[in-house]
Structure 1
């Protein structure tokens, strides 16, 4: 964003440059001169200007955000794949249920037909003298 702002600084819509008598930005060394004197890494960090520290912090936050977005994209892709697998399994179950339902209806129709046939045969047998059980 900062670079974009600098890019538009020359445009006709930009404000005139500020005229101010501001002191130069402080480094951490000027604020706490004895902090980290014995540690070279800490001393190097302490000598950085405040703007450099902010820039570094923004870059770190951007890297973390990019890693978070990458992780979310991977997780989203995995979720889509799992949902697709569940959908396929559901379609198999639906097809199996329809097959079973068709077989049940066919068996029910055959049972009704068999009961009618049994009733007819039993009626004929009684007419011929069978007394039953």
Structure 2
């Protein structure tokens, strides 16, 4: 029969190997993913667009091509009708489109806000009415309690009067225990 310490060292060794493989996989995933993505994007761009005469740094994967600022990029995107249509618009048209989009977003936001405010007002009104009903009920109960206390005090006085008259006429209270 194997010794318990031999099982522990074997399982500890297996655990170390598994942890090493997991850490190796994570490092490869973290480092390799941006490189693979960059290669994939470049191959997609080359296959879907005609070649452009660009002055981009191919060494830097994080560079942003600013070709629209240079005249050498003026022929890029001429074959795409959407891009050529956008490029033909003047600044005033683009700004007016942007303003109309901002106005639409603002109007939608305002409508949602007004709907929420109206809903909050309805809910507040409902709770206010419920609170008023509760207060009216409490006042009614308080008035009934005060009447009951007054009636009970009157009944005690009347009971004391009848008891004193009964004692005057010779009645003996058998409930009372005298020592």
State the TM-score, normalized to the length of structure 1.
0.64
- Distance in 1 between residues matched to 2:158 and 2:95, nearest whole Å: 93
Pick which of 30-39 and 44-53 moved more: 30-39
Q: Tell me what 1:64 maps to.
A: 105
Unaligned runs of 5+ in 2: 1-67
Aligned length: 106
**CA distance in 1 between partners of 2:155 and 2:131 (Å):** 36
TM-score, structure 2 normalization: 0.50
2:172 to 105, 121, 130: 130
Decide whether aligned partners of structure 1 residues 96 and 36 sit closer, same or farther in structure 2, where only a CA change above 3 A counts: farther
Equivalent of 1:116, from 135, 149, 157?
157
Q: Which runs of 5+ in 1 are unaligned?
A: 1-27
Partners of 1:69 and 1:80 in 2: CA distance: 16
Secondary structure at the aligned position of 1:130 is classed as coil
Distance change (3 Å), C-alpha of 1:83 and 1:35: farther
Could you say which structure has the greater relative contact order, defined with CA pairs below 8 angstroms and 6 or more residues apart?
A: 1
Answer with 1 or 2: which has the greater Rg: 2
